[in-house]
């Protein structure tokens, strides 16, 4: 049995599968057969918490996930997101109540389910008061179409405003050794309000696996990392210098670099979930090998000193993308 943690009314695996990679953003997605095989392997291994969104593949990811998970629906926690979708082939942030209600109906159809366990507002729409967007999500709860509500990429202040409108079960944002933004305020706010924190990109978008040594040649042109400052040649060259000591700690610990990064994250609090994504069954199995791995306090301290917001080179996002999110920034 894999380790489980409490998220609202659910007990779900602390190692959580993010399904975006199977349809969206990280270069050419795998074929349908390979994607389905990866999802089935996750189920076989014991994963029972799966995350998708209306945006991913502009709906195709929800259709994929729904088709594979439908026979197991009563035994899994299913999360999806609204508020950021594809319109005419372009990403659009739209948190208006009418859009949220419509998107939910579309997602339910694609997912082949009557209810979504955890439904996030994918991005805050700065043109719409957060109370109005959360109010629409609350109506979905009243209608029985959504069981619990989450927020993605929000600040502590926005979380508190939203929680005053309706209880927030979880916040999803990027968190890893090299992205510490949640430590500014959101982690404390989650603990204060009793919300879980679901950390996406816990392996620093592949950096902490140790396998990505040359983004210029290893990444496809349409990979979202090509637009991220940390992956620009000069910054990445500096960041790579951190990996030798990091890999040495993994060897001392008796685990792979990926497992070390996941174990560090899960050690940050018992309300934290590690939401990782992959296209590879081998990498899936490797990541799941972090289940139950407990790091000594001195190892955690060494990792904190080695990779953090002051030792990593490059901003998390480009200025254009940073302007779309509500998270605190260093």
Task: Enumerate the active-site residues.
Answer: 56
Q: Which residue has the tokens 């729904």?
A: 66
Which positions ≥6 away from 84 have C-beta within 8 Å?
53, 54, 55, 91, 92, 93, 94, 122, 123
Count helices and strands in the chain by DSSP H and E runs? 13, 12
Q: What is the DSSP string of 275-319?
A: EE--S-HHHHHHHHTTTT----HHHHHHHHHHSSTTTS-S-SS-H
Residue pair 174/323 in contact by the 8 Å Cβ criterion:
no
**Cα 285 to Cα 1, 41, 234, 276, 288, distances in angstroms:** 15, 9, 32, 12, 5
CA neighbor of 119 nearest in space, from 184, 168, 61 = 168
Structure-block tokens of residue 207 = 């950096």
Residue pair 203/276 in contact by the 8 Å Cβ criterion:
yes
């Amino acid at each position: 049995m894999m380790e489980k943690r409490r998220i609202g009314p659910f007990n779900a695996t602390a190692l959580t599968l993010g399904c975006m990679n199977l349809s969206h953003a990280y270069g050419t997605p795998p074929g349908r057969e390979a994607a389905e095989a990866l999802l089935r392997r996750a189920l076989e291994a014991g994963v029972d918490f799966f995350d998708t969104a209306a945006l991913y593949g502009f709906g195709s990811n929800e259709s994929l996930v729904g088709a594979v998970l439908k026979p197991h629906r009563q035994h899994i926690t299913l999360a999806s997101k609204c508020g950021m979708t594809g319109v005419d082939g372009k990403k659009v942030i739209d948190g208006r109540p009418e859009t949220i209600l419509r998107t939910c109906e579309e997602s339910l159809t694609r997912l082949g389910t009557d209810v979504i366990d955890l439904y996030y507002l994918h991005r805050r729409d700065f043109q719409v008061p957060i109370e109005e967007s959360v109010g629409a999500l609350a109506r979905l709860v009243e209608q029985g179409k959504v069981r619990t509500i989450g927020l993605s990429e929000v600040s502590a202040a926005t979380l508190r405003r939203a929680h005053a409108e309706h209880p927030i079960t979880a916040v999803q944002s990027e968190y890893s050794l090299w992205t510490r933004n949640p430590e500014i305020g959101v982690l404390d706010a989650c603990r204060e309000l009793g919300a879980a924190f679901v950390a996406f990109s816990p392996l620093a978008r592949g950096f902490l696996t140790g396998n990505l040594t040359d983004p210029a040649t290893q990444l496809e042109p349409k990979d979202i990392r090509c637009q991220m400052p940390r992956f620009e040649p000069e910054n990445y060259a500096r960041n790579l210098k951190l990996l030798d000591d990091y890999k040495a700690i993994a060897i001392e610990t008796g685990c792979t670099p990926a497992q070390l990064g996941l174990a560090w994250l899960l050690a940050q609090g018992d309300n934290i979930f590690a939401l990782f994504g992959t296209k590879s069954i081998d990498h899936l199995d490797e990541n799941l090998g972090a289940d139950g791995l407990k790091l000594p306090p001195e190892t955690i301290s060494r990792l904190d000193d080695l990779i953090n917001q002051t030792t990593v080179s490059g901003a998390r996002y480009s200025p254009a993308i940073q302007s779309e999110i509500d998270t605190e920034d260093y």
